[in-house]
């Protein structure tokens, strides 16, 4: 795909998502699907949730295009990927209307992730014990990505911005061409998040809801894993999403170590602490952009250009972002 075609693909996805938001927001308001302030919230008034449905519809259009084209790996795995992604979004959509028990949601997420790893993600030939271990580890990675994005979707424009910056960074890496089945979905995902930000930027007029966070979290894991399996830079993908990976993972471990109910709603993430400490949502987005463009993008570029030093670049990124996390969490007052 040429640069011009890729740009048009991105812009078309952004425009479609932004246009879809008009009827979706009206419908959410009419049905009373509102996110009311709670112990985890950083907003003071009810806001419609479920706007991520526009992202789902936009990206599913790209999936349909990929299945119709057949792709490099045939239409079967691509169709399975599309159906699993749609099921993940549907799980979030149901949860936006009537929250399901956490245990049930987790079981369904594991089933969907296992289906993706089994049916879509081609694994190299391995002895049975290693194959089971590898498939299990990849399944956990997909489930963690889904829940990570759900945890980190708590500030205006925050989750959509990270998806846009992360996928955008991957698309801009020198010498990197995402594999044929992955590229249209990656472009549509980035474009859809850009279009969604028209409505979700501070002050947010709508939240993406679980339908958006589940779907985006799954798709990011799927795009990254499929690209890595096709020879893409694994360390670079991790570096590009360090702001979310580090905050979500360290906060979870921190709460578990302190004996807190780690599965319960909270406001202990670094980004939440900053808002509690007085940062505006717009300032938070600015800091996220600076962290991505100023740190993650250069480190990912280095990892891509010098594969032998990619683990070093990843280690530097983890150390720096973890240091920022520790400074914020230790400094910010408790809610």
Mean per-residue pLDDT, 298-317: 96
SS (H, E, C) 250-263: HHHHHHHHCCCCCC
3-state secondary structure of 301: helix
Alpha carbon of 317 to those of 181, 212, 264: distances in Å? 29, 27, 29
**Count of domains in the chain?**
1
Q: How far apart are CA 80 and CA 110, in angstroms?
A: 16
pLDDT (0 to 100) of residue 332? 47
Q: Tell me: cis bond preceding 203? Omega within 30 of 0 counts.
A: yes
* pLDDT tens string 82-102: 999 999 999 999 999 888 888
Mean per-residue pLDDT, 129-140: 95
* pLDDT tens string 163-215: 999 999 999 987 666 777 789 999 999 999 999 999 999 999 999 999 999 99
* pLDDT tens string 243-257: 999 999 999 999 999
Give Cα 144 to chain centroid, integer Å: 10
Q: What is the C-alpha end-to-end distance of the chain, expressed in Å?
A: 49
Q: The whole model's pTM is what? A: 0.94
pLDDT (0 to 100) of residue 72? 47
Contact between 18 and 195 (Cβ < 8 Å): yes
Alpha-carbon Rg for the chain, nearest whole angstrom, is: 19
Residue 220 lies in domain: 3-331
Lowest mean pLDDT among 4-13, 24-33, 36-45, 120-129: 36-45
Q: In 178-299, where do the E strands start and end? A: none
Structure tokens at 203: 């002050």
Q: How far apart are CA 157 and CA 20, in angstroms?
A: 17
């Amino acid at each position: 795909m040429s640069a011009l075609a890729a740009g048009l693909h991105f812009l078309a996805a952004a425009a479609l998502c932004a246009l879809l938001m008009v009827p979706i927001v009206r419908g959410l308001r009419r049905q009373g699907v509102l996110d009311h302030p709670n112990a985890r919230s950083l907003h003071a008034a009810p806001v419609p949730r479920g706007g991520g449905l526009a992202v789902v519809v936009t990206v599913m259009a790209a999936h349909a295009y990929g299945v119709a084209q057949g792709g490099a790996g045939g239409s079967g795995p691509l169709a399975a990927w599309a159906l699993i992604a749609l099921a993940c979004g549907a799980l979030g959509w149901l949860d936006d209307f009537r929250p399901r028990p956490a245990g049930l949601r987790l079981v369904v997420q594991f089933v969907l992730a296992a289906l993706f790893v089994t049916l879509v993600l081609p694994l190299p030939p391995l002895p049975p014990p290693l194959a089971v271990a590898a498939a299990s580890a990849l399944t956990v990675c997909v489930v963690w990505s889904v829940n990570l994005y759900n945890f980190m979707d708590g500030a205006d424009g925050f989750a959509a911005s990270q998806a846009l910056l992360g996928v955008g960074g991957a698309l801009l890496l020198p010498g990197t061409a995402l594999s044929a089945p992955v590229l249209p979905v990656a472009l549509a995902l980035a474009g859809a998040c850009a279009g969604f930000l028209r409505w979700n930027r501070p002050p947010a007029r709508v939240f993406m809801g679980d339908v958006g966070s589940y779907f985006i979290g799954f798709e990011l894991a799927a795009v990254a894993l499929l690209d890595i399996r096709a020879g893409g830079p694994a360390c670079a993908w991790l570096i590009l999403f360090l702001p979310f990976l580090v905050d979500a993972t360290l906060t979870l471990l921190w709460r578990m170590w302190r004996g807190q109910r780690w599965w319960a709603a909270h406001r202990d993430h670094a980004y939440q602490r900053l808002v509690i400490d007085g940062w505006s949502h717009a300032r938070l987005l600015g800091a996220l952009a600076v962290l991505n463009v100023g740190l993650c993008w250069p480190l990912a570029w280095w990892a891509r250009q010098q594969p032998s030093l990619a683990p070093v670049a990843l280690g530097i990124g983890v150390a720096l972002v973890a240091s920022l996390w520790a400074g914020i969490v230790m400094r910010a007052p408790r809610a």
